[in-house]
Amino acid sequence: MPEHVGPAFVDLQVNGFAGVDYNAATVTTAQIAESFAAMEATGVGLCLPTIITSTTDHFIACARKILDTRHPIVAGLHMEGPYISPTDGFRGAHPLACVKDASLDDFRRRQDAAEGRIRLLTLAPEAPGALAVIEAAVDMGVRVALAHTNATTAQIDAAVRAGATLSTHLGNGCPAILPRHPNVIWDQAGCDALHASIVVDGHHLPPATVRVLVRAKGPERCLLVTDAIMAAGAAPGPYHLAGLDVVCSEDGRVAVPGSATLAGSALTMPRAVGLTRAWATPDVGVAWAMASTQPARYLGLEPRGQARVRWSDDWSRVLDVAFSPTTT
């Protein structure tokens, strides 16, 4: 059985875990802390709890509960939206009622309430006001990513010049049918200035697409994320994401009932590493770095702790995980 030991994982996009939704109005700080302990058990030493498109007041309430845990796993917050495309398909599972133009005043209010802990902002570069927000956020030390966007080639180029450095869940957050070329996937995949985070769960991207994106960006610019919701680390069944009812199927696919729209995942980082090793690289160390040292370096951090993972012979199943908060 293949096994690997290395720096603990760093997940830049996690909406919930172990039955806890970080976007729920009713969630408690104690519940969030319990979910962080469950996440550590999967080898994650650092993460960016992610708050998706919502009102400013709701974002602030969620952010404060997460930060009040004072848990060492929290490297900061990922603010995904609300400055995204309102168009169906590009918007994904984000609530249309809360989508809004990019506003520096709004972002500053959220960042101030989060004690300056927003480390990653995902937006659509075509949103009115987006370029000014990108420039200001970068000046504050925030990393800026692009997603849920119907931007033109020129708009993506302008966002990169303004300081955007990442594509969030590249290959997703867009309609099933796009122009052959150009489109937002090709434009971002071909941009060397953008790292790419990818969700390798067998549902967000098929194996061939994972291989192509890793080859296009180069493994050193690829960052594995889970985009997990509360179904991760829990049994299949009905769940929710920020008030949206979703279902996690037996095979781990999370979607709105009766819809093709994915709503996060039930993925864990060890499984993402195993599938990336199986589909995109013969070297498990390369896949591991995409989930640990590379996302840490992107944030300007060092991984926290060490993980050991053992997989099935075909890399598709995680058999055992151990986490230590210190590196031995």
- Stretch 281-301: mean pLDDT, rounded? 98
User: Phi then psi for 4, rounded to 5 degrees?
Assistant: -145, 145
Give the span between the Cα atoms of 195 and 183, in whole angstroms.
17
- pLDDT for 326 equals 85
When the pLDDT of each residue in the chain is averaged and rounded to a whole number, the result is 97
At 168, which CATH number? 3.20.20.140
Can you name the residues that pair with 78 across neighbouring β-strands?
50, 120
For 158-183, the pLDDT digits (tens) are 999 999 999 999 999 999 999 999 99
- In 3D space, the residue among 73, 94, 76 whose CA is nearest the CA of residue 18 turns out to be 73
- Stretch 33-58: mean pLDDT, rounded? 98
For 207-259, the pLDDT digits (tens) are 999 999 999 999 999 999 999 999 999 999 999 998 889 999 999 999 989 88
- pLDDT for 277 equals 98
Domain of residue 231 covers 3-324
Give the span between the Cα atoms of 284 and 266, in whole angstroms.
22
Angle of helix 207-217 relative to helix 269-279, nearest 10 degrees?
Answer: 80
Flag whether pLDDT at 64 surpasses 70: yes
Is this model's pTM higher than 0.85 or not? yes
- Which CA distances in Å does 39 have to 15, 16, 23, 269? 12, 10, 17, 9
- pLDDT for 328 equals 57
- Stretch 293-322: mean pLDDT, rounded? 98
The answer for 50, left when phi > 0, alpha when psi is -120 to 50, beta otherwise, is: beta
For 88-107, the pLDDT digits (tens) are 999 999 999 999 999 999 99
Residue 248 burial by CB count (10 A; 0-12/13-18/19+): exposed, middle or buried? buried
Cα angle: 96, vertex 79, 207; to 5 degrees: 85
Count of domains observed in the chain: 1
Flag whether pLDDT at 269 surpasses 90: yes
